[in-house]
Amino acid sequence: TQPPEEGQGTEETADTEANRETQKSRPEVGKERRKMALEDRAARVKRKCCEAQGESCSPADWIRQDGWPVGIHNMGNTCWFSAVIQSLFHLPVFRRLVLNYCLSERILEKCKSHSDKRNIAFMQELRCLFALMVGSTRRFVDPSAAVELLREAFRSSEAQQDVSEFTHKLLDWLEDAFQLAANGNSLEDKKENPMVHLFYGTFVAERTHEGKTLSNIEQFGQYPLQVNGFNNLEECLEGAMVEGEIEALHPDQTISSGSKRWFSKLPPVLTFELSRFEFNQSLGRPEKIHKKLEFQEIIYMDRYLHKNNEQTYNRRGEVKRMKEHLTVLQQKLECYRSYGSGPTNYPLADMLQYMLEFACTKPTSVSPHLPPSPPKPIISLTASPSSSLLSTCQQKHSSSQRMPIYKPFTQCRPPMDAPPHPAPHSVTEEELRFVKTCLQRWRTEMENNMDELKASIDRVSQALEGMYSDNRLCQVPYRLHAVLVHEGQALAGHYWAYIYDHSNQCWMKYNDVIVSESSWEELVRDSYGGMTNASAYCLMYIDDRLPHLIAEDTDDETGQVMQGMDSLPPILGRYVRQDNHWFQQELREWEEQLYQPPQQEPAAPTAASTTTRVPSKKKDESAEPVPQPGPAQEPTGEQGQEPEAELMMLTPAMQGIIMAIAKARQAFDNEGPEAGLIKAFQEEYSRLFELSQEETTAQQDPRLHHALVYFFQNKAPNCVIERTLLEGFTDRNLSFDDRSISIMREARAKLRLIKPEDMDMEEYMQWHDDYSLFRTVFVYLLTGLEQYQHGKVSEALNYLNHAYKDNTMLLRRGEKRGVDQSLIALYRRRCLKELNDNAATLFRSSEVNGVEEGVIIMNEAVIPCMHLMSRPDMISQEDLDTMEAIRSHWCSYLEVDLDDSLQLKLGEFLPRVLDCSTERVVLKDPPTVRSKVPHDLCSRLAAIMESITNTSVVAVK
């Protein structure tokens, strides 16, 4: 979350007398501000550490664990969004409402207003977000589409949003969206609105005026509660239900009593909004209230219901009397614990004990240098030991100024014969007996009185605690479902949520992308407040009597619980599967780039530079120059300083889109983002179509450059081509200047308008799967040829077998779906011949190791390859001739005089060589292939074909 701007929350005042008085306290104000700034900075550092732990640079760490909840990515000041959405998503009844939200075509045609269109668009984005949170394979999902719609509703997208403000806006939008589905605006229709039924309740406000009781019924969603002045949630509710009475200044004026509130209908989901902010007049800024406020996992709402008003009213009166009596008892007990009229008080029982010890201390003879003291009266029981000592010392005064005076407070040490404690100089046995009897009796009386007071206080406290604990007022239990926590100050901080997992019966902590198991103890530490600057901001309770609120979806036929993708509607299921497909593709591309070996020889600069530095662009700067094809260059800033730069991977497809956006600059500047997107779309479409018309040669294949070239050549449907190109303009790597960001957002908005039912998503995914398989075939082919050139014939044969098999599947769907099959077949035959000759040579060597190695080559390489070649749909005349030559070669050994061991081994594998179709052969999986990046494939194709054909010209795009 962004920190507040410097000086935010303050304003200049005139140099008045009041202002001068205020300036006197500026050091304290500045100190307080610095303290708050340090707390804010600590909160931000803590949050950044959490994000660093949760968002790894490797996509492999973004994979969701089985059954673990999904986090939500923080898009910048959107932790409030994550906290609220997670608390609602993990309420199964609400999740079902959102996922199954649907409007008929008739209702959609009637929605003409901006608010209706906005609410429908938000519901669509929320449905997609919820669907991803159900079935995505990602560890956290991107909420940017829904967040963008919400941010437009607030005045500033950069300011931190308040949870209550956001939740009010969210509930309003959801209520309006479901009202459209209810198809009506009347009061009866609103009753059918599921949002109103789930989150909204009503209360009765009563007040007495001139002897008459006035009441009205009001609706509420989030119920606000004050924190200051209360210690727990029950006290907050009591304070919100009963307001103080208004007393008249004169007897002849009318008197109005304070209002009372009673819940007439409680919603199934009861949300309390805790008011933890107040405005500090001296600082001129809002402040957060860090007071401790306790709450329980289960609360009973019976005493706040209107139907129990008489019973509750009587008990409130009794509670009031008992609290007043408790206050009197506590005051009396305090008088015993803190006795005295001076500035310092002491426990009365201790004072009596001290006086008893003083009276019982044995007196000693008076120093010979001092005159005898006069008889001393009985000491007052209210005098402290220090006052007695002082009066005794003041009496030790001589009439002669030359006589030495003993000063107990200034002399370094007392005389050696002085007693260790003060004691009376003279006391008779009768006086001592009298004093001891009185002090002991009084101390015993005081202790008995204090014990009786403590017992009375305990009885009254227990009676107060059990006032609402009988069964008649424990019929409406509400269980805590979620706690929204805010850490920081009023102007900056961070939000997260604790949510109860009803299935596993444990608490979970949702902190943006980080989802972890928690405990009630951790929740209390972070939510009660009073210890740190973290405290609960919103409490969500659910009616514990309604099990359907937390019940998961079940199959109507089998009754089994449906989880994951099974619980999604078909349209959303296809959407999630598509996103999971793209995520798997991202993982594959990441792994290919990560494990791609470095080039051994420096290659000439190509149009497809792997990296390009894109400098950050300020708003008042002119358009950035388009990254041109060529080597990566370091941009230079003003005064020889390099501006901030972000290193990101730019594929040739992305470079083409960037150049298209640059060509659309004039349209963007004159007509806006939509016109700029259309112009850039047309430019890139034309470029790729022209590229698809280029001739395919042995050294280059235009289809490797872009999926659309492949689609154009294979005459894919226009909807597939247009959607694919439009998705290219939504890439997050385009967010390097204002123009690109605007076009990217416009493209995302256009993409959201394409409904799943507007096109066949299965067909769309099939086209992209075919192109991915086409590139895989090319990787197998190039890797096999490279291995063959390096003399690794066995490895090369395995790659070529996979390439031939997958390429056959593609060619069945179209002539240009795959690569030239003859090239794969040619080098597969060459590898097969060489391996067979090598196996025969080893077999004839008669060496034990050589024979075993030769048999292994036949069983693991030659025979499986012949099995694939013998399939009727894959065989050619050249393949038949090659297999016949291999069989003839091994049959010739039958006429040769071999050892018995060789004859036995030949008899084991020769039948399989003669008839390969009699057994099932499974190919070994090839090792991890090199990169499938388009420019890398083009370069490798040109290089390997040059080596094979010995040409001198290499065309690399």
Q: Tally the domains of the chain.
A: 4
Q: Which of 90, 306, 486, 494 is catalytic?
A: 494
Model pLDDT for residues 819-839, shown as the tens digit of each residue: 888 888 898 889 989 988 888
Active site residue 79: yes
Per DSSP bridges, beta strands 285-288 and 277-280 are: antiparallel
Q: Please give the order of strands across the beta sheet that includes 212-220.
A: 212-220, 201-209, 260-265
What phi, psi does 201 have (nearest 5°)?
-130, -175
Q: Which of 366-380, 618-632, 856-870 has the lowest mean pLDDT?
A: 618-632
Residue 161 domain-assigned (yes or no): yes
- Residue 498's pLDDT band (cuts 50, 70, 90): very high
User: What pLDDT does residue 91 have?
Assistant: 93
- Contact between 614 and 646 under an 8 Å Cβ cutoff? The reply is yes
Q: Is residue 251 over pLDDT 70?
A: no
Distance CA 684, CA 658 (A): 9
User: What pLDDT does residue 929 have?
Assistant: 61
Q: Is residue 540 over pLDDT 80?
A: yes
740, 796: one domain: no
Residue 779 domain-assigned (yes or no): yes
Which of 184, 200, 216 is the last residue before a domain boundary? 200
Contacts of 755 (CB under 8 A, 6+ apart): none
What is the mean pLDDT of the segment spanning 300-305? Answer: 89
Of 330, 328, 208, 309, residue with least CA distance to 264: 309
Q: Is residue 802 over pLDDT 80?
A: yes
Q: Locate tokens 């005349």: which residue?
A: 877
Q: Is residue 747 over pLDDT 50?
A: yes
Q: Is residue 935 over pLDDT 80?
A: no
854, 722: one domain: no
Which of 143, 171, 200 is the last residue before a domain boundary? 200
Q: Which of 397-406, 491-500, 806-815 has the lowest mean pLDDT?
A: 397-406
Q: Is residue 92 over pLDDT 80?
A: yes
Model pLDDT for residues 851-874, shown as the tens digit of each residue: 888 888 888 888 888 888 877 666
Q: Is residue 338 over pLDDT 80?
A: yes
- Residue 574 CA neighbour count, 13 Å, CB half: 14
More confident position, 166 or 113: 113
More confident position, 939 or 13: 939
Q: Where are the beta strands (DSSP E) in 229-338?
A: 260-265, 269-275, 277-280, 285-288, 298-300
Q: Locate tokens 């090659």: which residue?
A: 882
Residue 334 domain-assigned (yes or no): no
Rama region for 203: left / alpha / beta (φ>0; ψ in -120 to 50; rest): beta
Residue 315 domain-assigned (yes or no): no
Q: Is residue 128 over pLDDT 80?
A: yes
Q: 268 in helix, strand or coil?
A: coil
Active site residue 867: no
793, 925: one domain: yes
Residue 375: count other Cβ atoms within 10 Å of its Cβ: 7
- Residue 593's pLDDT band (cuts 50, 70, 90): low
Q: Is residue 433 over pLDDT 50?
A: yes
Residue 48's domain comprises 17-54
SS3 labels along 491-530: CCEEEEEEEEECCCCEEEEEECCEEEECCHHHHHHHHCCC
User: What pLDDT does residue 920 have?
Assistant: 59
- Contact between 918 and 912 under an 8 Å Cβ cutoff? The reply is yes
Residue 214 domain-assigned (yes or no): no
CA distances from 525 to 53, 73, 511, 533 (A): 22, 25, 16, 11
Per DSSP bridges, beta strands 140-141 and 71-72 are: parallel
879, 794: one domain: yes
865, 901: one domain: yes
Residues across the chain: 957
Residue 925 domain-assigned (yes or no): yes
User: What pLDDT does residue 790 have?
Assistant: 86
912, 790: one domain: yes
925, 857: one domain: yes
Model pLDDT for residues 653-710, shown as the tens digit of each residue: 778 888 889 899 899 889 998 999 999 999 999 999 999 998 888 788 888 888 999 9
User: What pLDDT does residue 923 have?
Assistant: 63
More confident position, 172 or 378: 172
Tokens of 574: 């296809």
Mean pLDDT of the chain: 75
Query: What radius of gyration do the chain's Cα atoms show?
Result: 43
More confident position, 430 or 397: 430
897, 934: one domain: yes
User: What pLDDT does residue 278 have?
Assistant: 74
Residue 526 domain-assigned (yes or no): no
96, 48: one domain: no
Helix axes 144-151, 163-182, angle to 10 degrees: 100
Bridge partners of 217, per DSSP, are 204
What is the mean pLDDT of the segment spanning 786-803? Answer: 88
Q: Is residue 489 over pLDDT 90?
A: no
Rama region for 830: left / alpha / beta (φ>0; ψ in -120 to 50; rest): alpha
Residue 413 domain-assigned (yes or no): no
Q: Which of 79, 128, 236, 538 is catalytic?
A: 79
- Residue 589's pLDDT band (cuts 50, 70, 90): confident
Model pLDDT for residues 100-112, shown as the tens digit of each residue: 888 877 788 778 7
Q: Which of 57-71, 286-300, 452-466, 853-867 has the lowest mean pLDDT?
A: 57-71
User: What pLDDT does residue 612 have?
Assistant: 36
Contacts of 672 (CB under 8 A, 6+ apart): none
28, 113: one domain: no
User: What pLDDT does residue 855 have?
Assistant: 85
Q: Is residue 19 over pLDDT 50?
A: no
Position 717: which residue type? P
73, 41: one domain: no
Distance CA 551, CA 574 (A): 25
Distance CA 256, CA 208 (A): 6
- Contact between 136 and 579 under an 8 Å Cβ cutoff? The reply is yes
887, 780: one domain: yes
Q: Is residue 807 over pLDDT 70?
A: yes
Which of 200, 222, 244 is the last residue before a domain boundary? 200
Position 580: which residue type? N
- Contact between 94 and 88 under an 8 Å Cβ cutoff? The reply is yes
